[in-house]
Structures are given as structure tokens and as C-alpha cells.
Amino acid sequence: MSIAYFVSPHGFGHAARAAAVMEAVSKIRSDVSFELFTTVPDWFFSQSLSSSFAVRQVVSDIGLVQVDPLREDLEETVQLLERFWSTLPETAESIVAEWGDALPEAVVSDISPLGLEVARLAGLRSILIENFTWDWIYSAYRDRSPALARFGDLYAELASTASTHVQCEPACRAVSEAVTVKPVSREARSSTAETRRALGLDEGDDRPFILLTMGGLGWRGEGPTDDDARVIVTLGGCDRLERSAGVVRLPNRSPVYPPDLMRAADAVVGKLGYSTVAECYRAGTRLGFVRRPGFPESPILEAFVKERLPAVEMEIAPGAGPDRWRTDLERLLALPSGPAVAENGATEIARLLTRPES
């Protein structure tokens, strides 16, 4: 079974969700192979997948250009979208031509418009997987950037061509004809004790550890580095694993699998992003969330975590002083951890993908 998978490089959240789905498919069909189209680095999928795959480094999506994890650059976004959509037909045609008669059995798009266009052009079964679509996101910026509306219309037209539309909880806008699945996340692999050992924590060290993450752009702040009562683990923002008193810094290409970190952490602090929320939800991990001002997905995720997770809004940002950190972490750690959730939307999607077409 061969599947072409087009993944948005907007952060690592779409890639994490895609990896979760592909790994779930491989547990049902051991003969499956994936051809990935994205600019997400190959190592991300090597870290997450046990099945056969190849990555084609191609611009599959623009989404929104990020200045930093919490701010967008709308002007540059429009410039890149102009270029992307003007070359989209040609890019799609070249991919279909290269396949020739060796067409995949299905095309999956984690919100990538290129995948939707390729499937439409080749007449292939197409599956759109999302918790938001770009037309919905762009509509929220119409006052600040009216030019985005045109690209939202183009995206909506392509999205309507998908054979199957899958929405992952928490979805931002309900679509009546879509299949709704539980939150999708990668599965943890190691026990809490194994993860703590991998971080270099002594067996007798029972201090809670706090994971700081800002998704694919990495954690750039220092955090509460002078707090001896806790161990602080940061993900991203450095080139290699670094340890100092009470602090472990991990690169984005972490030697410790991120879902293991999410499950083993006593609390996670980070921006509201889909994969962070989904992995904390399934592990029952406390979440201290930092809002993303202006990003329309943020209120949806915030409502979900307030209802389903042990979570508090953090009144800090990278670079906040130790007193502010200490107060907020005490509030967060005072919450009881949540129950682990066995159900994974990735399994639901995998069953859908491997089901014979009627």
C-alpha cells in the first residue's frame, strides 16, 4: 500500500499529527510505504516513524509566516502566498508526471493545498486532515490584511474537492460532512523512569521536572534557571544537549523522544499548539499555557484545555523573572495530574485510510 502525504510545515504540529497517523496506519498495514511532500526536516519523521518512507523536500504550504512563536508577519505571508499559488498548478503537474503509472493509492493532506491539487489533478482518493483550515484562519485577519481573503477563497475551493474530510478534536470550525475523530498524537515509547534517566537525572532525584516548549520554533527564553526545587527542561533553541545545575536544554532534534518528555514531565509550559495540547491531553500532563495573541486557533485550544486538562494560563513569557515563574509554577503543580487517555484519533484515521473503498 502506498500513500502520498503532504504536510504543512507551519510549526511541527502538523508533522507530529501526520507522523501519528502514519505510524497508526503501519500497525494495520505492515506493507505500507509513504512518500512525504514537505519542507519539514527528514529527521523529524525518522524519529517518529517505523514504516518505510521517503521525503520529497518541496514547499507544500505557506500558512502563516512566524516572526517568533507568538507573532505572525502578514505582509511576508501575502508575498509568499502570491508566489506559491502562482506556481501551484505547475508544481502539481510535475509531481503527477513523475509518478506516471506508479500512482499512490491515496493522497493525504494535513492542510496542504498542494496535496489537494495533486489529488484533484490525478483523480486520486484524497483525504484532508485538519483541526483548522487556512480559509478559516485567513478570514480572522481580513481587517489587518484584506489580501489574505483571496487566498482563503482559493484554499476553500480546493478543500471542497477532498474525497474525505477529517476533523481532529478540538476542531476550530465544525464541517457537517466531515468525519470527527478524537485528538491525534504520537504515542510515548518509554516509561517515566527511563525518560528521567535519559535526561541525566539521578535515580534518587525526585524533583519535579518542567518541560518548556514553544513548538517547532523552539524555546528561546532562559526560564526559571535559579529554581533549585525543580528541574527545567527546554526543547529547541540550542544545537545540542546541554546540562547545567537544574537545567537540561534539548535541541529540536532531541535525543529524547518528545512524546516521552510530555508523558514524563510533571508539567509542560508552552504556547497553545495542537500537538502540545493533544500530547498533554492523552498523557494527563499538567499544562501551563501561554496565549498566542491574535491567532484565531488559540481561543479554541484554550477552551479545550480548560475543560479537559489540568491547566492554567501562565502570566509569564520567555525572559520573565524568577519570582513570576515561581508563583505560576506553584499554581500549576498544585493541580492534580489528569488521567491518561487511551483513545487516539490517529487510530480512527488509520482505520479510515486502510478501509477498502466502497
Query: DSSP string spanning 118-170?
Result: HHHHHT--EEEEESS-HHHHHHTTTTT-TTHHHHHHHHHHHHTT-SEEEEESS
pLDDT at 326: 79
Domains of the chain: 2-182+344-354 (3.40.50.2000), 192-333 (3.40.50.2000)
- pLDDT tens, residue order, the chain (358 aa): 999 999 999 889 999 999 999 999 999 999 999 999 999 999 999 999 988 899 999 999 999 998 776 778 999 999 999 999 999 999 999 999 999 999 999 999 999 999 999 999 999 999 999 999 999 999 999 999 999 999 999 999 999 999 999 999 999 999 999 999 999 999 999 999 999 999 988 888 888 999 998 776 666 665 665 566 788 888 887 888 888 878 888 998 999 999 999 999 999 998 889 999 999 999 999 999 988 778 899 999 999 999 999 999 987 655 566 677 778 888 999 999 999 999 999 999 999 999 877 3
Name the DSSP letter for residue 110. E
Q: Give the angle 340-164-32 at the CA atoms, nearest 5°.
A: 70
Beta pairing class for 126-130 and 231-235: unpaired
- The pLDDT tens digits for 94-121 are 999 999 999 999 999 999 999 999 999 9
Q: Is 32 helix (H, G, I), strand (E, B) or coil?
A: coil
For residue 340, what is its C-alpha cell?
491518561
pLDDT at 139: 94
Q: How far is residue 167's CA from residue 352's CA, in Å, rounded to a whole number?
A: 13
- The pLDDT tens digits for 17-40 are 999 999 999 999 999 999 999 999
Contact between residue 235 and residue 243 where contact means Cβ atoms under 8 Å apart: no
Q: How far is residue 7's CA from residue 12's CA, in Å, rounded to a whole number?
A: 10
pLDDT at 358: 39
Name the DSSP letter for residue 111. B
